[in-house]
Amino acid sequence: MGTLSLSDFQEVRIPAPWGHIAGRWYGNPKERPILAIHGWLDNLGTFDRLIPLLPDYIGVLCIDLPGHGRSSSIQPGMHYSVYDYVYIIPRVMREYGWSKVSLMGHSLGGFLSFIYTSVAPHTVDMVISLDVLLPRSVTPKQAVDVEAQNMEKYLVEEDRQVRGDLLEPPSYTLPDLTKIVVKRSLNSVTPELAKHLLHRQEERSQLFPGKFYLSGDVRVKFYRLWKLEPGLSEEMTRRILKNPFLLIKASKSSFVGAQCEYAISILSQNNPHFEFYEVGGGTHHIHLKFPEECARYIVPFIRRHRPPTLRSEEKLKPQEMLFERSQNNQSKL
């Protein structure tokens, strides 16, 4: 056994009342995969550099959240909310008949994994959270101000979509489109890495030759995320019980900050399967910029909590399995 190939995947379309959830299933189609969920304004391309470092016996199903990538947008008049996004997880589980789920999420995807695990811990066999645990702290005034600004912008964009007075969003050259992706990631995504997100959302303009626009629903920019009250976040953390939980923090990121300290202490004291590591030199998109450093912790975690089944190992002779494991430990981690 080796690692996954970025070219070995099946396109996925999971039906939903508002359209479909798009995704790519990498690797083994016969075993229940890890469900990977990207961050806000990103898409499944965020895992492009991490996928080839993961063991191939298990497979990974990467999805685009509604309004992102190649997934459908929600209906006009509806509003995006992080708490509504959580329902995507059991929807995917029901589609494939899973009674358990393994989750890997970055940013918004990691927070969705945290919420779902706290609500239904009996259905989760492991969580890999990349540079997120709880939302970053904001003052009540900041929360209200942002909500007020987003409300007006949301209605303007909704009006534009309903009237259809613009056939497509503003278009740009590819270099300018790259700059936009970098800027909205707060420079966490470098220009060289932006291509991994663009391949799921760049669309060629039909009005201006040589220019492109970003697909996806602009309303996603104004999704709702209120601050969790300390008592609520603590209760959610306690409900994770003994679910294997891996948290990786980027050293130059503020996403896992002071607001997470108490939750981390609860997990450290109560959960024997909680692991917390910090990767140096990286910003929020740590898995995209330094995938090898993340894989150093992710691969052993996967092997501990989702080890190969007899079916996936039976193709190798015992001595070959030992050699392969040794090689993975020394050269791939």
Q: Where do the CATH 3.40.50.1820 domains begin and end in the chain?
A: 9-137+225-332
Model-level pTM? 0.90
> What share of the chain in percent tops pLDDT 70?
90
CA dist., res. 127 & res. 267, Å (int): 13
Q: What is the 3-state secondary structure (H, E, C) of the chain?
A: CCECCCCCEEEEEEEECCEEEEEEEECCCCCCCEEEECCCCCCHHHHCCCHHHCECCCCEEEECCCCCCCCCCCCCCCCCEHHHHCCHHHHHHHHHCCCCEEEEEECHHHHHHHHHHHHCHHHEEEEEEECCCCCCCCCHHHHHHHHHHHHHHHHHHHHHHHHCCCCCCCCECHHHHHHHHHHHCCCCCCCCCCHHHHCCCEEECCCCCCCEEECCCHHHHHCECCCCCHHHHHHHHHCCCCCCEEEEEECCCCCCCHHHHHHHHHHHHHCCCEEEEEECCCCCCHHHHCHHHHHHHHHHHHHHHCCCCHHHHCCCCHHHHHHHHHHHHHHHC
Q: Is the pLDDT of residue 253 over 50?
A: yes
| pLDDT tens-digit map of 22-58 | 999 999 999 999 999 999 999 999 999 999 999 999 9
pLDDT at res. 286 = 97
| pLDDT tens-digit map of 58-70 | 999 999 999 999 9
Catalytic: which of 73, 107, 171, 233?
Answer: 107
CATH topology for 9-137+225-332 is Rossmann fold (3.40.50)
Cβ atoms of residues 303 and 246 within 8 Å:
no
pLDDT at res. 332 = 39
Q: Say whether 107 is catalytic.
A: yes
Q: Is the pLDDT of residue 326 over 50?
A: no
Mean per-residue pLDDT over the chain, rounded: 89
pLDDT at res. 97 = 97
| pLDDT tens-digit map of 84-119 | 999 999 999 999 999 999 999 999 999 999 999 999
What region, left, alpha or beta, does residue 73 occupy, with left being phi > 0 and alpha being psi -120 to 50 degrees?
beta
Q: Is the pLDDT of residue 324 over 60?
A: no
Cβ atoms of residues 139 and 231 within 8 Å:
no
pLDDT at res. 236 = 95
CA dist., res. 308 & res. 150, Å (int): 46
CA dist., res. 284 & res. 287, Å (int): 8
Q: Is the pLDDT of residue 307 over 60?
A: yes
pLDDT band at 225 (very low <50, low <70, confident <90, very high): low
Mean pLDDT of the region 202-211 = 91
pLDDT at res. 328 = 45
Alpha-carbon dihedral sign for residues 67, 107, 122, 56: positive
| pLDDT tens-digit map of 149-198 | 888 888 888 887 777 655 678 899 999 999 999 999 999 999 999 999 99
